[in-house]
Amino acid sequence: MVQKIKKEYASIFSSIFDILRQLKTEYKKNMGKMQDIHFVAPNCLYRGVFDKESIIVDVGCGFDADFSVYMIKKYGLKSIGIDPTKKHEESLKKISRNTNGRFTHQSIAISSIDGNIYFNESKSNVSGSLLDNHRNIMNDPTERYEVKSVSMAQLPNFLHMRRIEYIKLDLEGAEFELIQNLKKENVSKYGQIFVEFHHHCTNYSRADADRCIQKMISFGFRQYAVDNRNVLFYKN
């Protein structure tokens, strides 16, 4: 009987916690709107309004490039999807055709180095990783192969862009080393940098994410988040 009551109370408190967390998230989304910051499900943030002349960069776009597709439909802009995962290539080619070329795909990785690097593709999940200690790589059947890597410092030149107004970084754990090795001048050509931190599925911690956030702030960026994993860095 006591155990049953304990389970019922645990379930009630869990439900209350979930409701409070949802309310907090909705409050932060609404506060973001006051700063012209917009939320795109499931976890993306961007600031301001784009137009047909805008070009964004979607790193770790996955097989469906859902953020790119959303932004193309909303603003008519162009998006460059970056993802080295071989099994996503055909799907991304189809998206490019369906958007009349407004979406294009670069089969490269973004990391702290320029040159070739090994990528681990998960055979069971959408997301692979450059990291061997990523949860998907440790638990899933994988294929490991060499890919071209471009650093943040060299990416504008690689894409033939004088400035990158917006970049989304979904690097499945590689974001930590990337930011740890950044210098202020490496991000001088970026307006907004959205980062998904993956301390929940790698050997990195929340403290590591906090240090990365503080480093980006020291470069002159402001930060905004609606949870503890996804952060928009932007300049006024």
Residues in the chain: 236
Assess whether 27 and 48 both reside in one domain: no
For residue 100, the domain's CATH number is 3.40.50.150
Q: What's the mean pLDDT when you consider all of the chain?
A: 92
Assess whether 22 and 102 both reside in one domain: no
Pick the closest to residue 231 from 81, 46, 107 (CA basis): 46
Does residue 42 have a cis bond before it (omega within 30 degrees)?
A: yes
Total domain count for the chain?
2
Assess whether 91 and 159 both reside in one domain: yes
Assess whether 211 and 133 both reside in one domain: yes
- Residue 77 phi/psi, 5-degree rounding, is -80, 180
Assess whether 85 and 192 both reside in one domain: yes
Q: Give the mean model confidence (pLDDT) for residues 168-193.
A: 98
Q: What is the pLDDT of residues 209-228, one digit of tens each?
A: 999 999 999 999 999 999 98
Give 154-160 contacts, CB < 8 A, sequence gap 24+.
154/114, 155/57, 155/110, 156/189, 158/108, 159/57, 159/80, 159/106
Assess whether 58 and 83 both reside in one domain: yes
Assess whether 9 and 73 both reside in one domain: no
Distance CA 176, CA 62 (A): 20
Assess whether 140 and 53 both reside in one domain: yes
Assess whether 221 and 197 both reside in one domain: yes
Q: What is the pLDDT of residues 39-88, one digit of tens each?
A: 999 999 999 989 999 999 999 999 999 999 999 999 999 999 999 999 99
pLDDT at 10: 61
Indicate the range of 27-36, 129-138, 201-210 predicted with least confidence: 27-36
Q: What is the pLDDT of residues 121-130, one digit of tens each?
A: 999 999 999 9
Could you tell me the CA-to-CA distances from 46 to 40, 143, 182, 195 in Å, in that order?
Answer: 8, 33, 22, 11
Assess whether 189 and 79 both reside in one domain: yes
Pick the closest to residue 59 from 208, 187, 131, 167 (CA basis): 167
Assess whether 8 and 84 both reside in one domain: no
Q: Which domain holds residue 23?
A: 1-34
By the 8 A CB rule, do 45 and 230 touch? Answer: yes
Distance CA 11, CA 38 (A): 33
By CB atoms closer than 10 A (0-12, 13-18, 19+), residue 218 is exposed
Share of the chain above pLDDT 70, in %: 86
Assess whether 55 and 23 both reside in one domain: no
